[in-house]
Each structure stands twice: as structure tokens, then as C-alpha cells.
Chain A
Amino acid sequence: MAEKTHFPVLELKGLTKQIKQKTIVNNLSFSLQQGDIYGFLGPNGSGKTTTLRMITRLVFPTSGEIYINGHSVDRDYRKALSVVGSIIENPAFYLDLTAKQNVKLSAELSDTKVGSSRVDEVLEIVGLSDVKNDKVKTFSLGMKQRLGLANALLCRPAIIILDEPTNGVDPAGLREMKELIKRLSQQENITFLISSHMLREMQDLCNRVTILQKGKLVETGLVHELLKDYGADNLEDLFFACIKEDRQ
């Protein structure tokens, strides 16, 4: 179970990313509390994946700070990233290795000690036990997504970042994934930051949302409160209302 903390699990302060003359992310600030399932929404090109890349230190911010469990991603990245599990865009694996070998490699590279039983356990959780000895190049997109989730769960992280995790996953897998996320959030106190376009699923899953447009924060808060404020029936209506308001 993730340790209870008195500070936000994830905190972004004034995060900005500029490439040449274009601002991809503009002065983004928000925080995630422990145990929350956070929806990270926005139209295509709004800067969601770039933000997630900055959190996982694949991309460097132009300015601003990111703190994970109170540790700066810039100055104290080892401690910061040691509690993070992630799927950024398409999960990438060594195609000539088996599913188990890929997860085992991640286990060996982790700061926390991860035994062989945990590797089998996470593959069982995501429903890939039967194919764990198959090479990843034979996997479908949905299977790769599940393997990505197994990878993210491996070290019992405090926060799991999922970028389009339901891409290619079948309906049964989708239901299982939702149940898993809810269970981990409630029982293990794991925080989830999920970027997705499937708003109906996000409404079922998330208790908080942040909406981005053109790199800027448009709205953030508890789902039920925002629905009430905007007079929206569902997350989809809320999303379009926020985007429309911002355009105006």
C-alpha cells in the first residue's frame, strides 16, 4: 500500500514548454492528492502528452517545477521517479523479448526490490499469464497496453500515469482495467493520472478532472462539482462547455 503523505502526490507549478516560437504548455499548475483518480482531458494537441512527458522527465520544461511526493523531478529525480509507474503514448517494448522478459528487465532497473513472484503477479493481474512467454512482437495493441499497465504496476508506485490506456483494449479488458484502477485507488491508495478521450469511461472512473486547451489550464476540480457549476449532465457536455467558454 502506498504511504500516506501530507503533501500532494504530484504538483505542477507554472509548468511551461516552448519549442522554437510555439508554446506547447503554458504556465500549467495543478496538484493531485493521494488516492485520487484524475482525468487529464483536452482536445488533440492541447499539450497533455507533453505534460506527461515532462512529469516523467523524458522532456525538459522551459520553466516551472514538478514535484512528486515532495521531491523535485529536476533536482531529485531518483526519489521522484521511484514512486511513478507510467504508460506514455504507445507502450514500447523490446519486440524480440517475451512479455515476462520485458517486465523482468523493468523490475531489475527499479529502485525498489521486485521479486520474480511480483512479475508473475502483475502479469496475472492484467490477464497476460497465458502469453507471458510469447514474444511481444506477436502481441496486439490491446495486449501491449495491458503489458504496459503491468509494467506500471510493478513497483507498487504511489502514482500511475496512463496516457490513453484503453487504446485497443477489448470491452472485457476495459471493464477489468476500470475495476482494477478503482480497486488500487481505494485499497492501495494509489493515485492515477489518466489521459483519455473516452469521456464516458472517464466519468465512471475519475473523481477529479483537469481540462487543457492549447497548453493552458481551462478547468480543474471535482467532477460532480464541475457538472453542477456548468449545469452539465455528463462529462462530455462539461468538456465541450469548458472548451467553448475558453474559445469565447
Chain B
Amino acid sequence: MRKAGILIGFEIKRMLFSKTTAIYTGIYFINFMISAIFFRIMGSEGTVLTIGNAQSFPIQHLQASFLFTGIFVAIYAGQIITQDRSQGTIKLILTRSISRLEYFMSKVVCIFLFTVFITLLMIVLSYVVGMLFFGWGDVMIFFSVKSEGLQGILITMLSGLAFAFSYFAFGMIAATVSMLTSKVSVNAAIMGILLMAGQYFEVLPSVKQFAVFHQMLFFHINIFEKSFVYNTVSFLVLMAYSVVFGMLGYRIFRKKDLYV
């Protein structure tokens, strides 16, 4: 597992300093600026914001970034799986007596860390934009949750962690799809279309809790709004997606001939 740790460290460094991260930062920033500007002009009718203060800004934007974050997670998962193959650098790693399991697990951990990173990035950028436009504010309001100060920040972080976990499950689906494609753009397009179509699960009340798309939209909200039993089921659903697609992805990768 030492080698998996080295691979993870290597990927994290690349992720933090890559052009794609810079682009994601720019896109989120523009999105939050648009939201803040239109809240100032038109109030809550024009945006997802119901309360205009920095405390509430990040947590309110998590759900709204469904498409963005989903696409970015899909691109990252596709990138770390396919680029090593297309550039041939996978042979640099696998000929060093690293098992395919270690290699695959390092990618899984990287996807999880990326979802946490991108959520944190969103939260930090939101705080910045929120402060610029509205100031800190008196109280954080998010559905039935009211809090302030450090507690508000902790609630935001908890919501963010739940959010990251649901996107990790989606990232495992993207990673499995990328085992079968050779280009990042194909993977991104497939997952993007799945994201758009997946929102229609909301019209099926009996199955929506078992759709990963529903969890991506609501898990970080339901941990405050729904019962413990409901949230446990949701958590298990996400675990199931992560484990099943993780195992499927590994099964495909384990015996794949690498003509690199």
C-alpha cells in the first residue's frame, strides 16, 4: 500500500496545479458572481439564493452546482483513468511490480479526494463571493437549519462532506465508464447526458431515493431534514453504488490487455 500512497500523492500534486483545476475555479467563481449579482438586482426570484449573506451562500449553492460538479468529477475520473493509458505512462507504473489492485485503489482514493477538494473549493469561493457582495450576515439559514458563527461553518462543512460523498459515488460510475472509453471527452459527454437525464428520476417517488442523481441533489440537505432511518438508507445506497461500480471497474481493469 506504500506504493498506492506514492501514486496518490503524485496525482494530488498534479490535480492541485493542473490547468483543469484553474478552469474549474474560474467557472465556479463566475457562477457565484452571477448568482450574487442577480440576487442583488432581482432578489431570490433570480437565483437559488433565499438569504443574501456569506454564511448562507456556500451551502445554498451546493445543490445548484449539480451539473457543474457532476461534469467536473466525471472529467477528473475519466482523465486519471484514460490519460495514463493514452499517454502510455501506465507502463511506467505497472512494470514496477505494482499490483493492478493497488493502482486501481489509488485512483479510487484520488477520485474521493478530488470530490472533497472540489467541494471545499466551492465552499471557499462561495464564502469569498458572499463576503464581497453581502458581508458575513447575522445568521446562516438553510431549510430548517438556523445557525451562526463557527457552528454555521461546521454545518456547511458537514453538508459539504455529504455532498462530496454522493459525488464520489457518481465518480465511481464515471471511472467504470472510462474503463471502456479511450477519450476523456467521450466519458464527459456520456456522464453529462446521464446527469441531465438522471434528474427525471425525481418524477418517480417510489424509486428516486435509490437513484444516485437524487442523492447528488438532496443527500446534503436530507441529513438535516429527514429522519435517521431515511438518511441511513440513502447512505447505504451511495455505498452500494460506490462498491458495485468500484468492483465492476476493477474487474474490467484487472484482466485488461494494455497495448501501450
Residues on A facing B (Cβ under 8 Å): 19, 53, 56-60, 77-82, 84, 86, 88-90, 92-95, 102, 105-106, 108-111, 151
Contact A78 B91 (CB under 8 A): no
Q: Which residues on the A side are within 8 Å of B94 (C-beta)?
A: 56-58
> Out of A59, A90, A102, which one reaches B258, CB within 8 Å?
A59
A190 to chain B minimum Cβ distance, whole angstroms, is 16
Taking A58-B91, A58-B94, A95-B87 as contacts, is the C-beta distance between A109 and B257 under 8 angstroms? no
> Out of A19, A88, A90, A109, which one reaches B6, CB within 8 Å?
A109
Report the separation of the CA atoms of residues A59 and B96 in the bound assembly, to the nearest whole angstrom.
15
B19 to chain A minimum Cβ distance, whole angstroms, is 10
List B residues 100-153 near A (Cβ within 8 Å): none
Q: Which residues on the A side are within 8 Å of B6 (C-beta)?
A: 105, 108-109
Contact B92 A151 (CB under 8 A): yes
> Out of B7, B91, B99, B260, which one reaches A77, CB within 8 Å?
B99
List B residues 52-106 near A (Cβ within 8 Å): 87-99
Residues on B facing A (Cβ under 8 Å): 3, 6-7, 10, 87-99, 255, 257-260
Report the separation of the CA atoms of residues A210 and B214 in the bound assembly, to the nearest whole angstrom.
60
**Which has the most chain B C-beta neighbours within 10 Å: A82, A92, A111?**
A92
Report the separation of the CA atoms of residues A56 and B98 in the bound assembly, to the nearest whole angstrom.
11
> Out of B3, B96, B258, which one reaches A53, CB within 8 Å?
B258
> Out of A78, A86, A102, which one reaches B99, CB within 8 Å?
A78
Contact B96 A106 (CB under 8 A): yes
Q: Which residues on the B side are within 8 Å of A86 (C-beta)?
A: 95
Contact A92 B92 (CB under 8 A): yes
Contact A58 B92 (CB under 8 A): no
Contact A92 B88 (CB under 8 A): yes
With A80-B97, A82-B97, A106-B96 given, name 14 new contacts (CB 8 A): A59-B258, A78-B97, A88-B95, A88-B260, A89-B88, A89-B260, A90-B88, A92-B89, A92-B92, A94-B87, A105-B6, A105-B10, A109-B7, A111-B96
